[in-house]
Amino acid sequence: MTAEPAVTSFAALHHRPGEPLLLPNAWDHASAAALAARGFPAIATTSLAVAAAAGLPDGRGATREHTLRLARTLGAEPWLLSVDAEDGFGDDPDEVARLADRLWDLGVVGINLEDGLGPAEAHAAKIAAVKAAVPGLFVNARTDTYWLGDGDETDTLRRLDAYRQAGADGLFVPGLTDPDRIGTLVRHVDAPLNVLYSPTGPTVPRLADLGVARVSLGSLLYRRALGAALDAVADIAAGRVPGGTTPSYAEVCALGGGAP
């Protein structure tokens, strides 16, 4: 493969002091292409959207093949692609490593793996297996101590240290919005720290000041898109002209490379 320069570029996007990687999450080819057209060099997927589109539960390991299918669609495109792979869709580190290898072959340069508050040692074993099988793949190791737990700082640091020692390239703590705690983690870890943007949390410039290296949008754009559709149909039913941005038919066709 010729993916190594892309991987190097993706890793470099996490090492720009004062300029965190703002990583938008897409759910299909059109959303990814539209985001790339706005100048975002890297695009991620979101497991919630993959699951919702298939009528399946999120975070339950039900969307492995759907995730691979989306990666196959997006991985050959010119943008850098990172895939949300839940917990790796299994407990066996070797199986997770095989999944990572398949994603790599599809052109994916990054993978997000979440611990779901399971044993840190088991998650570390998955990370180590992935890095052994696909050394160039950027592994973003996520802990859910704030997302699913009570935000225990000692447990958070313990898990992040274990994942870093296992070979994780980046560390992700979704649900963490307190600036002081974010700053503490930035100072503690020796890898790029990723946080999930929250409309009620710090702004991207504030996160940059705190030293955050990567800001993910998660399922926010997908949920906003659904909300915009519901708002539009409500306006139409009430006799109002719907507001907001509406790409033309031709513009959407162009995102897929086709003619109207």
Model pLDDT for residues 135-181, shown as the tens digit of each residue: 999 999 999 999 999 999 999 999 999 999 999 999 999 999 999 99
Residues contacting 136, CB < 8 A, separation 6+: 3, 4, 7, 104, 109
First and final C-alpha spacing in the chain: 34
Domain presence at residue 236: no
Residue of 17, 14, 21 lying closest to 197 (CA atoms): 21
Q: What percent of the chain has pLDDT over 90?
A: 95
Domain presence at residue 66: yes
Domain presence at residue 155: yes
Domain presence at residue 230: no
Tally the domains of the chain: 1
How many Å is the Cα radius of gyration of the chain?
A: 18
Q: Domain of 164?
A: 15-219
Domain presence at residue 112: yes
Domain presence at residue 233: no
Domain presence at residue 253: no
| DSSP reduced 3-state for 140 | strand
Here the CATH number for the domain that contains residue 198 is 3.20.20.60
pTM recorded for the entire structure: 0.94
Instruction: Report the pLDDT value the prediction gives residue 260, as an integer from 0 to 100.
Output: 43
Domain presence at residue 84: yes
**Rounded CA separation 81/156 (Å):** 27
